[in-house]
Amino acid sequence: MGVGAFAEPPKDCPDYRRGYLCGMIRGDGSLRDDAYERVGGWDGRIFSFRLALVDQEPLDRTRDYLARVGIRTAEFTFSEATAARRRMMAIRSHGRDQVRFIEWLIRWPNSPSTDWQKGFLAGIFDAEGSYSGSLRIANADRAIVGWTIASMAALGFGVAAEDRDRPNGLTYVRLRGGLKEVLRFFHTTDPAITRTRTIDGTAIKSNARLKVTSIEPLGLDLPMFDITTGTGDFIANGVVSHNCFARKSHTYLDLDSGHDFDSKIVVKVNAPDLVRRELAAPRWRGEHIAMGTNVDCYQRAEGRYRLMPGILAALRDTANPFSILTKGTLILRDLDLPCCGGSWSRGRPARSAGWRCAPRSPRQACPARCSWGRSCRSCPTPRRSWRPPCGRSRRPGPPRSRRSCCTCAAARGSGSSAGWARPTRAWCPATVPSTAAARTPRRPTRSG
């Protein structure tokens, strides 16, 4: 899932800077070239330029671009912060030559270049734009609205002009295409204000055709970096990626989700006894148990404490359905257990493909995971494979006849895929031990 590859950022060239100044100053600046009558009857003129903004980033960029062409500006506080408004800073300049040079810089070009159009859209967005689910640029000047629409069309953006029927002629230019086009706009034009470029909480709806086109050896070793973004999603060149969502659960134990998560493991050494006790409770109704959905149950600590055999035995004795989601090859140790296709069940091993190696996985993990799939294929019982699409899937369900559930194995990895592991279940006939067959009916569970 994603929005497609990112667009190339604009070049910091004179045309881009002039376009940005044109959009910013025409959208939010003030230029004065007024005549007045002096005392004594002499005529005079006032030349001034001023730009006042709440955000500091576009103010700094405008001041820098003006300084590059020799126009000096002074910064001052335009208005102090109040309970309802933020502080507003401003820059200004006086002098006939400087003001007239600014007027020349922001004039409409006869034949705008692509760089100028990118800069103009960045400037007018910083001055008059907003993004909260949809990207809009508002202005009452018909010339500015026309140049905004023309520049967007030249860069391949689809827009809609929304006239608000106000006396001043206010018009909103709205960008079409959803988040995919919003990100392309931000990357193509590079506005200065960062708070208006956040996409937190935005639903991703995109028609981008994402697939692995090729995998080619580079012929050299490059360093690998683990990008950690807490528990949220991030977009890496157009593809949505997700860091370990289990990190936050560490904070429930008064441990932090950074260093503690990477260096400390909490082990419930009596887990098999607790599982057996909970399964035997009258309130338990035999719901499906999905293991490994928050923390991998076959991580390295399992090799020392060997908790899974006892847990699987408890599930076997109660004929309770379950599934295992794991990236660990240690599950090969438990493939011969009775609950995984052994004496009392004729299970059909199911394996899923379409997940990648996670950061900090051992180098030998991928070959071992492939042998995991081969072990599953060598199982004498019938088998099946399924490949879920990236983002959502339909799990294989039980036949209509009453059957019990067991998991023989899951997942043969594909290092080139940008997906993730899915819980897989193999449904087998209800041939259960006598201890499970003699169980009394379970009572309804309590809510919560």
Answer yes or no: do 66 and 168 share one domain.
yes
Answer yes or no: do 69 and 151 share one domain.
yes
Higher-confidence residue of 415 and 320: namely 320
Q: Indicate whether 260 belongs to any domain.
A: no
Q: What is the percentage of the chain residues whose pLDDT exceeds 70?
A: 65
Least confident of 130-144, 294-308, 417-431: 417-431
Least confident of 177-181, 300-304, 375-379: 375-379
Q: What is the pLDDT of residue 326?
A: 81
Distance CA 282, CA 89 (A): 68
Q: What is the pLDDT of residue 428?
A: 34
Answer yes or no: do 26 and 171 share one domain.
yes
Answer yes or no: do 190 and 272 share one domain.
no
228: pLDDT confidence band, cut at 50, 70 and 90? low
What spatial distance separates the first Cα and last Cα of the chain, rounded to whole Å? 33
Q: Indicate whether 207 belongs to any domain.
A: no
Q: What is the pLDDT of residue 166?
A: 82
Q: Indicate whether 347 belongs to any domain.
A: yes
Least confident of 33-47, 136-150, 356-370: 356-370
Answer yes or no: do 178 and 66 share one domain.
yes
Contact predicate 32/47, CB 8 Å: yes
Distance CA 417, CA 407 (A): 24
* Strand 159-163 relative to strand 135-139, pairing: unpaired
Q: Domain tally for the chain? A: 2
Both tokens of 372, joined, read 């995991």
**Residue 411, phi then psi, degrees to nearest 5:** 75, 115
Which distant-in-sequence residues (6+ apart) come within 8 Å of 296 by Cβ?
325, 326, 327, 328
Q: Indicate whether 213 belongs to any domain.
A: no
Answer yes or no: do 21 and 146 share one domain.
yes
Q: Is the pLDDT of residue 42 over 90?
A: no
State the pTM of this model. 0.53
Higher-confidence residue of 275 and 361: namely 275
Task: Indicate left, alpha or beta for 132 from its phi (over 0: left) and psi (-120 to 50: alpha).
Answer: beta
Both tokens of 373, joined, read 């799939």
What is the span of the domain harbouring residue 353?
Answer: 265-358+366-385+404-437
Answer yes or no: do 314 and 177 share one domain.
no
Q: What is the mean pLDDT of residues 419-430?
A: 35
Q: Is the pLDDT of residue 355 over 60?
A: no
Q: Tell me: the pLDDT tens digits for 367-398? A: 555 555 555 555 544 444 444 444 333 344 44
Q: Is the pLDDT of residue 216 over 90?
A: no
Structural domain ending residue among the three candidates 148, 169, 197: 197
Mean pLDDT is highest, among 115-124, 203-212, 353-362, for: 115-124
Q: What is the pLDDT of residue 113?
A: 95
Q: Indicate whether 371 belongs to any domain.
A: yes
Q: What is the pLDDT of residue 185?
A: 93
Distance CA 288, CA 279 (A): 11
276: pLDDT confidence band, cut at 50, 70 and 90? very high
Which distant-in-sequence residues (6+ apart) come within 8 Å of 253 by Cβ?
266
Q: Is the pLDDT of residue 152 over 90?
A: yes
Q: Indicate whether 377 belongs to any domain.
A: yes
**Residue 251, phi then psi, degrees to nearest 5:** -70, -20
Answer yes or no: do 163 and 45 share one domain.
yes
The domain that holds 101 is classified in CATH as 3.10.28.10
218: pLDDT confidence band, cut at 50, 70 and 90? confident
Count the Cβ atoms, other than its own, within 10 Å of residue 271: 16
Answer yes or no: do 143 and 269 share one domain.
no
Answer yes or no: do 176 and 271 share one domain.
no
Q: Indicate whether 399 belongs to any domain.
A: no
Distance CA 84, CA 412 (A): 57
Q: Indicate whether 390 belongs to any domain.
A: no
Structural domain ending residue among the three candidates 197, 217, 245: 197
Higher-confidence residue of 440 and 206: namely 206
Q: What is the percentage of the chain residues whose pLDDT exceeds 90?
A: 34
What is the overall mean pLDDT for the chain? 74
Answer yes or no: do 170 and 291 share one domain.
no
Q: What is the pLDDT of residue 273?
A: 94
Task: Indicate left, alpha or beta for 49 from its phi (over 0: left) and psi (-120 to 50: alpha).
Answer: beta
Distance CA 410, CA 348 (A): 11
C-alpha dist (Å) from residue 114 to 25, 189, 284: 19, 10, 67
Q: Tell me: the pLDDT tens digits for 55-112? A: 999 999 999 999 999 999 999 999 998 888 889 999 999 888 999 999 999 999 999 9
Structural domain ending residue among the three candidates 197, 229, 253: 197
Q: Of 28, 58, 25, 31, which Cα lies nearest the Cα of 138? A: 28
Q: Of 210, 108, 199, 118, which Cα lies nearest the Cα of 156? A: 118
Secondary structure E strands in 275-368: 289-291, 322-324, 350-352
Answer yes or no: do 180 and 317 share one domain.
no
* Strand 289-291 relative to strand 239-242, pairing: unpaired
List beta partners, residue 323. Answer: 290
Q: Is the pLDDT of residue 222 over 80?
A: no
* Helix, strand, coil share of the chain (percent; to 5): 30, 20, 50
360: pLDDT confidence band, cut at 50, 70 and 90? very low
Q: What is the mean pLDDT of residues 248-257?
A: 74
226: pLDDT confidence band, cut at 50, 70 and 90? low
